[in-house]
Amino acid sequence: MLRFFYYLILIVIAFLPKVNLISFNGTTTGIRIEDFLIVIITFFLLLLMKSRKYNNNIDRNIRNIIKLYFLYFIISVISTIFGIMNNYVGGILTILFLLRKIEYFIVLFIGYEFVKTVKDREKLLKLFDSFVFFNFIIVLLQYFGIVGASEMGKFVELSKESRLCSIFNGAYEFSAFLLLLLPKYAYELSIKQKNNIKNLIYIIMIFFCIFMSQSRTSLIIFFIILVMILLEANKKTLKKILLCFSFVFILIIILLNIKSIISFLPRFDSLNIKNMLLTLKEAWYNRDFQRYINMNGYYELVRGINVDRSFNMRISKCMTLLDGFLKSPLIGVGLSIVKISADCAYIRIITESGIFGFISYMSCLIYIYKHRNIRDKEFSIIIKYSIITLLLSGIFIDIFDSSKVIMLFWFLVGFSCKLDNILNDKKDNNICII
């Protein structure tokens, strides 16, 4: 029965829009179907964990990941208590944000329990194909105006200028989700498998979806990840040199035609470095965390500078939140201080949980990076570049609080740890037989 729920949670993450069954004022966060599913799965997992045999067999890396993440959660609890005492945060929304930290992490155990045999590896990789293909079809339907989108939990019609985001809440979450799938296809393409045409097609579909989402950050990360994997996978020096020269040559062509290229790329033509720096300076001078609290999340945009509106909104809010961080730099001011989004994962963590919270969360990711799957090269690549993707996306996106993205990530981490165990046991058994 649990197997059914494991598949069901993956289906909900990849195929169903985020629609609140129970909504709360002041935020798009609410109670959704995946919340109920994870509660049910958690109940059965707890029954399973009562078994001494289960606890003895659990992976050492999983234990260490739990310890590091639990440290982050405890710090978040302390931060939140501090925030409640100082009237920065409070109410049911704060409790919900705190519980979400545990909810997302529980998917790690779902990924761990999903793997029973090595054959489950191929089942998951085939699910990747369905994830990409499904969202590609939805984007095509949205592009031709056949279907709408789910925006902040509500279904809306799309105009010709709309940023396409499939069944996701926004373009950034959609593109970040696809970037977690990219390493699988890039790696398989680089090792020259028989199905190279298939992998190339899926890479093109991912690129098309990210392009149509008009997510500038994700578009840049797409090329960074693609080039990094191709360079890593091709171990021969000559191939690396040829790839590097090809990349440099393409880069030179791009730089020589930068103006015409920028005008074609979505939303890049509105960027102006000089005005962005001026906006950053003004946003810092105009920061006012207390006003943000008094007016329930209101922050003022920088005026008088002709700058990209998205950047203005992002930087104005980030500077306001940093002003809050300075009031409690070690433990932060509590979860739910960011009502909707901070548009920067690092600003969000450091404001909510302070320096201690930031260090503990990053320590958890670093540990996963260093102790990822070593028996399966492909999953080692997937986990490695999933973390790199998250760290790069976190500069401009609340990626660690993006439910569909972070739940898929924790699923992959748990899956990879269990797969490594199975392959390790299989190797040991083979040695015994010999």
pLDDT at res. 383: 93
* Most confident of the ranges 70-84, 154-168, 288-302: 70-84
pLDDT at res. 166: 87
**Which residue type, as a one-letter code, is found at position 126?**
K
pLDDT at res. 428: 52
pLDDT beyond 60 at 366:
yes
Helix (H, G, I), strand (E, B) or coil at 149: strand
Which percentage of the chain shows pLDDT scores above 70? 82
Q: What is the pLDDT of residues 254-292, one digit of tens each?
A: 555 555 555 555 555 556 677 778 888 888 888 888 888
Q: What is the pLDDT of residues 112-151, one digit of tens each?
A: 989 888 888 899 999 999 999 999 999 999 888 888 777 6
pLDDT at res. 52: 56
Q: What is the pLDDT of residues 53-67, one digit of tens each?
A: 666 667 788 889 999
Structure letter (DSSP) for residue 31:
E
pLDDT at res. 431: 37
* Most confident of the ranges 73-82, 167-176, 301-310: 73-82
pLDDT at res. 21: 78
Gap between the Cα atoms of 140 and 158, Å rounded: 12
Residue whose C-alpha is closest to residue 38's, from 111, 107, 97, 112: 107
Structure letter (DSSP) for residue 155:
E
Q: What is the pLDDT of residues 215-230, one digit of tens each?
A: 888 888 998 898 888 8
pLDDT at res. 232: 77
pTM: 0.87
- Could you tell me the pLDDT band of residue 432, with boundaries at 50, 70 and 90? very low
**Angle 378-383-386 from CA coordinates, rounded to 5°:** 120
Gap between the Cα atoms of 171 and 165, Å rounded: 5
pLDDT beyond 70 at 429:
no
- Could you tell me the pLDDT band of residue 190, with boundaries at 50, 70 and 90? confident
Structure letter (DSSP) for residue 150:
E
Residue whose C-alpha is closest to residue 317's, from 298, 290, 336, 294: 298
pLDDT at res. 247: 61
